Amino acid sequence: MKSAIGKEEKTVFADHLRKNRLKRSEQREVILDTFLRSERHLSVDDLLQLVQKKRPDIGRTTVYRTLKLLVEAGLASQLDTLGQARFEHEYNRQHHDHFICNGCGEIIEFSSPQIEQLQDDIAAGLGFVIEGHRHQIYGLCRRCATRAAPADAARR
Ligand SMILES: [Zn+2]
Ligand SMILES: [Zn+2]
């Protein structure tokens, strides 16, 4: 099973490189593979750390540039949290939105048919054609919220 991971994604990436007259490189393959094996929302440094476990010779600039290529190729999407870019899988993924913790940076995914429907209705009323959206809702996760207000938590 493991060797089959991201077979389609690898083809998409190879096509993207070809279209842009960029060379396929073994380093880029390693970075893509590492990215695909993680299910987290990774910063450049998170991914760098994972990559360097296998290949300490791969540097931050290469990881950063490759991530940008993955976004261009539609394999990754970028969200911005606490002033830091994070990347997640995009290819063949269901639409979802994010709660982002301002305390620890945790990212919680959610999707709500009601919210999706509501924004479609509002857009239709305005004659606005939606091409995409992204909700990033900032706040405190359960753990950070409890830590921020220990007196409140104790009273409950
Ligand atoms: Zn938190
Ligand atoms: Zn996500």
**What is the pLDDT at residue 139?**
94
How many A from CA of 8 to the centre of ligand 2? 20
First-to-final CA distance of the chain: 48
66 Cα: distance to centroid of ligand 2 (angstroms)? 19
Distance CA 144, CA 156 (A): 16
pLDDT, position 83: 82
Q: What is the model's pLDDT at position 82? A: 79
pLDDT at 155: 52
* Ligand index nearest the alpha carbon of residue 145: 1
Structure tokens at 123: 């857009």
Model confidence pTM above 0.75: yes
Task: Please report which ligand is nearest the Cα atom of 105.
Answer: 1
Give the distance (Å) from ligand 1 centre to CA of residue 50.
23
User: CA distances (Å), 40 to each of 13, 43, 57, 101, 140, in order?
Assistant: 20, 9, 23, 15, 19
- Give the ligand at the shortest distance from the Cα of 108: 2
The CA 100 to ligand 1 mean position distance, Å, reads: 8
Give me the tens of pLDDT residue by residue for the chain, a chain 156 residues long. 445 678 999 999 999 999 999 988 999 999 999 999 999 999 999 999 999 999 999 999 999 999 999 999 999 999 988 788 999 999 999 899 999 999 998 999 999 999 999 999 999 999 999 998 989 999 999 999 998 776 555 555
